[in-house]
Amino acid sequence: MSTTRPPRQQAPVLTCDSHFHIFGPYDQYPLDAGRSYTPPAALVPLYLAMAEAVGIGRMVVVQASVYGTRNEVTLDAVRQFGLHRARAVAVIDDSFAPAALRRMHEAGVRGVRFNMVSGNGTPEDQLEALARRLEPLGWHIQVYAEGDKLEAVAPQLAKLPVEVVIDHCGGVKAALGTAHPQFAALLRLLDSGRAWIKLSSYRASSAGAPWTDVAPNVRALAAAAPERCVWGTDWPHPGMDPVPEAGVLFDQFVEWVPDTAVRQRILVDNPARLYGF
């Protein structure tokens, strides 16, 4: 049973949670030995209870680093949710054959994540080669990086032959301010027209709970590229203490992006285009 309270404002029909993880059941999907953390189980029924409370109608399961390149838990979650409302972002390396990628596409995969924070995934030196392999599938590259790392790799990302989706507001800490070179690099990447940004924001907080110091970052990103922003809960919020509540996170998003038409784009229209709903 979800303890998430409904947000104060009703979510639009077909609101998409573009970033969350499923962990377990561990007797069926054991964690990878190379992981950097060990999360509690977070199963499909509990996610669905949260999604119902918030008003989420579509969902994108993101393969977490604790599973490495073994995507079975993520693909099974999409199967349980149903392709009518779910997609996935997988983690692969250059050992995956074209036939395997086609099967993953049929199972709902639309992107590949490069985790430059937690590791235990795709080697960074495979970035360009894998992007070329993903281009015929229409997949994107998703990047999780801290702000300094993102600034360093942004020129490389802008040259990839596929679109790029940046996690967690680009990892630029709120205390640095939106005039900082890291944030400027993020905006330049968005200006390239090939990059998207996930407005799952609290990991960019410098102040901690209730994570409201990220408001200027979210407002600036939504103003800069309203057609290439998506929103996500980051449920079950691995590593966070206290654990955020998705209903509160949605209320914050509504407060920081007050324009109804822009919110509709970010919550419904943009993810439908990016993930192929």
Q: Is 269 a catalytic residue?
A: no
Alpha helices in 160-258 (DSSP H): 181-191, 215-224, 246-256
Catalytic residue among 234, 241, 251, 269: 234
DSSP string, 235-249: BT-TT-SSPP-HHHH
C-alpha dihedral (250, 26, 239, 21), degrees to nearest 10: -30
Backbone angles phi, psi at 42, to 5 degrees: -140, 100
> Is beta strand 109-115 parallel, antiparallel or unpaired with respect to 140-144?
parallel
C-alpha distance from residue 187 to each of 11, 103, 191, 222, 225 (Å): 27, 35, 6, 11, 9
| Structure tokens that stand for 161 in this block | 């032959």
Active-site annotation, residues: 234
